[in-house]
């Protein structure tokens, strides 16, 4: 089984990202430039500078028979590479010191399922209607208005017209972003956001 340590470099700023993958670095690069990428700091930079502004290269190729031994070894190499190349933010695009990959053996899990009767579903639906809560319309109107305010990522400077568009960018529900803006969560996807001050 092969694993790779790779480096993605911004040819304009010189900032870089170090990662590890069991796929080829080229396949991993395609994931980085896809809308569903989880490497948010790097993703924001790709959006800002464009795909052609980045260079991907393979730093190390390691081959082992046992995946359980390979992963910890790669974690150690990834940490070392991030430190050697100085890619930890704000100097680079790595948001952690690396080595977070974990070996997870497959397990059979019995998932609990809740089978609700139609009568129970109807009761829940009735309890959740806005008819019994006259304050609901005002609350929804205020929430809608607040979500139209512009959002800025404090680390990258990227701006979105609303909470919804910010949430769509990260493929999450708007409430996840809203909870961070209200201070319930200190960080969202290892980044911080705030409302853009109206001029």
DSSP symbol at 129 = S
Q: What is the mean pLDDT of residues 168-175?
A: 90
Phi-psi region of 87 (alpha: psi -120 to 50; beta: other; left: phi over 0): alpha
Checking if the pLDDT of 193 tops 80, the result is yes
Percent of the chain with pLDDT over 70: 80
Q: What is the mean pLDDT of residues 19-25?
A: 92
Q: Domain-by-domain residue ranges, the chain? A: 2-85, 140-199
User: Is the overall model pTM greater than 0.75, yes or no?
Assistant: no
Per CATH, is 2-85 categorized as 3.90.1310.10?
no
DSSP for 136-175?
Answer: HHHHHHHHHHHTTS-EEETTT--EESSHHHHHHHHTS-HH
Query: Which of 41-50, 113-122, 126-135 has maximum average pLDDT?
Result: 41-50
Q: What is the pLDDT of residues 128-158, one digit of tens each?
A: 665 555 555 665 666 666 557 899 999 999 9
Compute the distance between CA of residue 6 and CA of residue 98 in angstroms, rounded to an integer: 13
Query: Residue 188: which pLDDT band, with cuts at 50, 70 and 90?
Result: confident
What CATH number should be reported for the domain whose range is 140-199?
1.10.10.10
Residue 142, pLDDT score = 64
Q: Which strands form 16-21's sheet, in the order they lie side by side? A: 16-21, 2-10, 54-63
Residue 170, pLDDT score = 92
Q: What is the pLDDT of residues 87-114, one digit of tens each?
A: 998 899 998 888 776 444 444 444 445 5
């Amino acid at each position: 089984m092969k694993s790779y340590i790779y480096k993605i470099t911004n040819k304009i700023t010189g900032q870089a990202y170090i990662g590890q993958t069991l796929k080829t670095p080229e396949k991993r690069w395609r994931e980085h430039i896809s809308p569903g990428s989880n490497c948010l700091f790097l993703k924001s930079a790709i959006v800002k500078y464009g795909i052609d502004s980045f260079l991907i290269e393979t730093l190390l190729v390691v081959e082992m028979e046992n995946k359980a031994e390979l992963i910890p070894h790669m974690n150690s190499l990834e940490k070392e590479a991030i430190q050697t190349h100085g890619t930890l933010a704000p100097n680079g695009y790595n948001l952690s010191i690396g080595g977070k990959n974990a070996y997870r053996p497959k397990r059979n899990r019995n998932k609990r399922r809740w089978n609700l009767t139609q009568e129970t579903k109807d009761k829940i639906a009735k309890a959740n209607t806005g008819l019994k809560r006259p304050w609901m319309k005002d609350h929804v109107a205020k929430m809608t208005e607040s979500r139209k305010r512009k959002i800025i990522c404090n680390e990258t400077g990227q701006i979105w017209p609303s909470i919804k568009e910010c949430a769509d960018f990260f493929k999450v529900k708007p409430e996840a972003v809203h909870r961070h803006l209200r201070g319930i969560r200190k960080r969202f996807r290892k980044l911080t956001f705030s409302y853009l001050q109206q001029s």
